[in-house]
Amino acid sequence: MIRIGQGFDVHRFAENRPLIIGGIDIPYHKGLSGHSDADVLLHAITDAILGATAMGDIGKHFPDTDESFKDADSAVLLSEIWKQVIKKDYSLGNLDATIIAQKPKLAPYIHKIEQRIAEILGVEVERVNVKATTTERLGFTGREEGIASMAVVCLVKNKAWHKMEKER
Ligand SMILES: Nc1ccn([C@@H]2O[C@H](COP(=O)(O)O)[C@@H](O)[C@H]2O)c(=O)n1
Ligand SMILES: C[C@@]1(CO)OP(=O)(O)OP(=O)(O)OC[C@H]1O
């Protein structure tokens, strides 16, 4: 069985915060605000996975009213969800994501981000694709007020996946 999920997240720029995207520290003069480390890409990916498995959304699992998630490492949050998903016998078909940011230029970090996501999910990097785009200076991302991310995942129930791999 194949299940599709999509996720979307936005975080506002803030001074004196690190910029963490896809589990990677990006050198920049400002970061993103949030209850957690505000990793806008990992949040979109987490929501896509939760969507594919009909498990709700990130705020349901990790409420921003819970002090234990203050400054939380979003890679740990994603790992927690992924462990539950693996227990349900799903594996990752592929993951595709887009970071919407006027600045900074993310191209130099994209492969490192893909490698980190693959590491968190325990899959080959070939199953993970990350893209970046500006909005041509339009809208809140264009005004450099924040960064948005979108993600789509395709999850496969293991039995069906093994059958497909065999038939190739
Ligand atoms: N923050 C960003 C945004 C974009 N890129 C790269 O530039 C390419 C062109 O972006 P447009 O928004 O002008 O279409 C895009 O395909 C990315 O490769 C980037 O590195 N960082
Ligand atoms: C991750 C959580 C929890 O620390 O906080 P934020 O960093 O504010 O992120 P958001 O994408 O607004 O939603 C999920 C939250 O509950």
- pLDDT confidence tier of residue 151, bands split at 50, 70 and 90: very high
For 19-50, the pLDDT digits (tens) are 999 999 999 999 999 999 999 999 999 999 99
Ligand nearest to the CA of 104: 1
What pLDDT is stored for residue 120 in this prediction? 98
64 labelled ligand-binding: yes
CATH, residue 52:
3.30.1330.50
What pLDDT is stored for residue 93 in this prediction? 97
Ligand nearest to the CA of 103: 1
Name the residue with the closest Cα to ligand 1, atom 16.
133
Which of ligand 2's atoms lies nearest the C-alpha of 57? 14
CB of 36 within 6 A of ligand 2: the answer is yes
**Average pLDDT taken over every residue of the chain:** 95
Count of structural domains, the chain:
1
Query: Which domain, by its residues, includes 150?
Result: 2-167
Q: What is the ipTM of this complex?
A: 0.90
Q: Say how many Å lie between the CA of residue 108 and the centre of ligand 1.
A: 11
- pTM as predicted: 0.94
- The b/e string for 21-46 (b: 16+ C-beta within 10 A; e otherwise) is bbbbebebeebbebbbbbbbbbbbbb
What pLDDT is stored for residue 155 in this prediction? 97
Which of ligand 2's atoms lies nearest the C-alpha of 69? 4
